[in-house]
Structure 1
């Protein structure tokens, strides 16, 4: 290791160049601060290089492949369409590289310095950066920790098992694939590889035998997975994974005394996150941590040390890029003297499964548990004109409200264009919309968006494309 001769001075240092980190850096530069990013791997972080973008290249391919069937009714002969995984991998690498170069260009345009290496705190105002044999020290005025987190499998498993990142690097389509987990990434992988031609089996972990969506989506999702011939097991014991260099064997208990042994060419295990705080050396600074080791921050993304901020997966809350991006901007704005804060009460959740799922706000169950007098409206895509044109009639929109105030509490969508539509729902709940606020605007016709309109109309039993409920009349004899 070569130690730098002098400690260098910097204004704002961002540790980590993932989505939260580079958004924070650019926003701070826009507001007149001199910014340095320290990144030990690649700009864009796990999201751009291994997670969000690579996985969505695959889900987009699977969704497109799945839509080939309905194309015939539009006069498009797709009978000769085949799937080429190596070619998709080439496209993924091209997309990722283009996006990385875009981030680099934006940093350069904003005069952001990029230093390669791994950062660790020496004191509350000084960090060291190690890059191979080189070691430099820097003082700073403010620092934003955007270092992300580590991942570890939710069960003991052989190192040959696929992970939520390695599964998207396969060059050959698995003939059989067993997935263990019930999170969003596992669900995306299950429907994606099933659509592309793998025989998929999904094992739900003990005490996690349902997905964590609104009850209506959970019910429809179970139906959709069954329709897609994805076999689902509800494990009562943690599975044992055995690999003999050729084939996987997975053993677990389902129900009372029911032993299950499955065989497969490929196996996947979901992961849980672990904060990357030890290597940063923040323990010696006295930064407050949660019981799980995540950095505690306030609404301004500031830690208990005034000049140190933290954002993204290393902080408490869901591990979502949208959270990290918002936190990064908020931290930068506060550093630049512009009061700003985060509120993730209404954080949109999307899953690029088949069909896609998107939601924001409370589920029906959560609303009931919080004491609201809940009223719900639903609209099926079966009656939506544009969904019929597309041949994508699976799914629905559900609106959850408080019957006493007509306040919109949550919106849950499953089906075509769900991810694009949820922005409307997010704006509605953020702006404290009521039933009438969502009824008043005109929705474009024909469009899948009309399903949201009809779900709101259904709250009062006024949905046009939904048959009225039949009430049984009591017959009395004369």
Structure 2
């Protein structure tokens, strides 16, 4: 076929079937658009097939294994406790397939046209799609780019070595490393560290920075928990070299000079870069940011009015929740609704043991922005329901402006943190003040009470916290 000889007419074309892409497709279909969704690999994208879901299965397996070891405290005795990582991987594959089939069923139920192939722009209103030896051209009214991202690669690593793993390959590892060396300080690195420690691996976690990127109080508690669990943390290190033969040798450089760590496997998590190669955005002249992401406005619109971009091809947190929100916003804008993105209070979550969740400003960030900062902090060791569960590690911290009592940030580490952060986000979005957090009745006993007592601690009124000693001037 000669390009341009025949083009199939379409209303809305979405390139990429990840969480942002398929949410956009279904929302646009709900609003009356005829939608064509093009995916060259598998529906659900990286999140479902290689990232979010597989890694959370590992985290869940680790949590269940750790819980089983504590069941004797409840009088539950097991004759033996064995763990087979191969069976966990089979479960992961089942979950992924079930969810992927569900996405396909939802798309078909909403009459979204699904096309498998590699799509690329030919002009501002036309794309080509290749699938094996088949080629078609489509003319569109609007398009959404949702091609996602791929792991940032560390230079100088040995290629094709099964002992060197990135964020896509780690969830397929069918053996338990004797000693897993991890380079990275994001939520993925933390989740993998705690999961494989629970599975029986010795774990060394290497940070590029001087500490984790959480609020200072969360960092202190997290470092304590990591030390207690036996995970070695090496901070402020530059990765110099990774050698892999039968084992892995990692050369590091830090404030105290060179350091060498030897292990059986090496895993690194350095973020995601936009997947734009061969898409044709340069041919169209779509504006990019300095870091190579597609530049968009608050609706997801690019520098070409009828083309939108969502997810990891755009700047901002590299999270599926960002892509999902952007996808819905882009679809609604295309369909004539007033909609926009604002990620000021986007939640950040780590499915660690215990989990971490936060939204809004840290204490340090609030001070840097000029607020008169006040905080309320409550330890889960004093929470009744945490005692029942035997999960007393962690804390709740709330950041306020002392002059107005305005809520600025919510930071949680402990059992139930991921679920509880939604209450904090809603309060942040509604510009809540201290009294708005303290006034409602909270279920008892529950982890929710930790948020109440953190708010009460802001002015020294938490019931289950020992009063701090007051310095008296003479």
Structure-2-length-normalised TM-score? 0.97
Q: Which runs of 5+ in 2 are unaligned?
A: none
The reply on whether 1:249 has 2:245 as its aligned counterpart is no
Partners of 1:287 and 1:254 lie apart in 2 by 41
Partners of 2:400 and 2:473 lie apart in 1 by 31
Cα shift readout 1:112-169 (whole Å, capped 9, x = no counterpart): 1111111111000000111111111100011011011232224531222111121110
Partners of 2:286 and 2:264 lie apart in 1 by 46
The SS at the match of 2:165 is: coil
Cα distance change of structure 1 residues 184 and 379 upon mapping to structure 2, 3 Å threshold = same
1:133 corresponds to which residue? 133
1:436 corresponds to which residue? 435
The reply on whether 1:182 has 2:185 as its aligned counterpart is yes
1:417 corresponds to which residue? 416
Instruction: Verify the 8 A CA contact 1:235 1:255 in the aligned structure 2.
Output: yes
Partners of 1:235 and 1:375 lie apart in 2 by 29
The reply on whether 1:405 has 2:404 as its aligned counterpart is yes
Partners of 1:276 and 1:292 lie apart in 2 by 13
The reply on whether 1:231 has 2:232 as its aligned counterpart is yes
Give the number of equivalent residue pairs.
471
Taking the TM superposition and a 5 Å limit, the aligned residue runs for 1:279-298 are 279-298=278-297
Q: Which runs of 5+ in 1 are unaligned?
A: none
Taking the TM superposition and a 5 Å limit, the aligned residue runs for 1:323-472 are 323-472=322-471
The reply on whether 1:194 has 2:193 as its aligned counterpart is no
The reply on whether 1:167 has 2:170 as its aligned counterpart is yes
Partners of 1:122 and 1:3 lie apart in 2 by 9
Question: CA RMSD of the aligned region, Å?
Answer: 1.5
Structure-1-length-normalised TM-score? 0.96
Partners of 1:473 and 1:126 lie apart in 2 by 75
The SS at the match of 2:409 is: strand
Instruction: Verify the 8 A CA contact 2:151 2:168 in the aligned structure 1.
Output: no
Comparing 231-240 with 366-375, greater Cα deviation is found at 231-240
Instruction: Verify the 8 A CA contact 1:295 1:314 in the aligned structure 2.
Output: yes
Partners of 1:249 and 1:122 lie apart in 2 by 47
Taking the TM superposition and a 5 Å limit, the aligned residue runs for 1:69-84 are 69-78=69-78, 80-84=80-84
Residue 415 of structure 1: how far off its partner (Å) = 0.6
Cα distance change of structure 1 residues 65 and 321 upon mapping to structure 2, 3 Å threshold = same
2:93 corresponds to which residue? 93
The SS at the match of 1:239 is: strand
Partners of 1:436 and 1:79 lie apart in 2 by 51
Cα distance change of structure 1 residues 174 and 393 upon mapping to structure 2, 3 Å threshold = same
Cα shift readout 1:422-456 (whole Å, capped 9, x = no counterpart): 00001000111010011111111110110000000
The SS at the match of 2:261 is: strand
The SS at the match of 2:239 is: coil
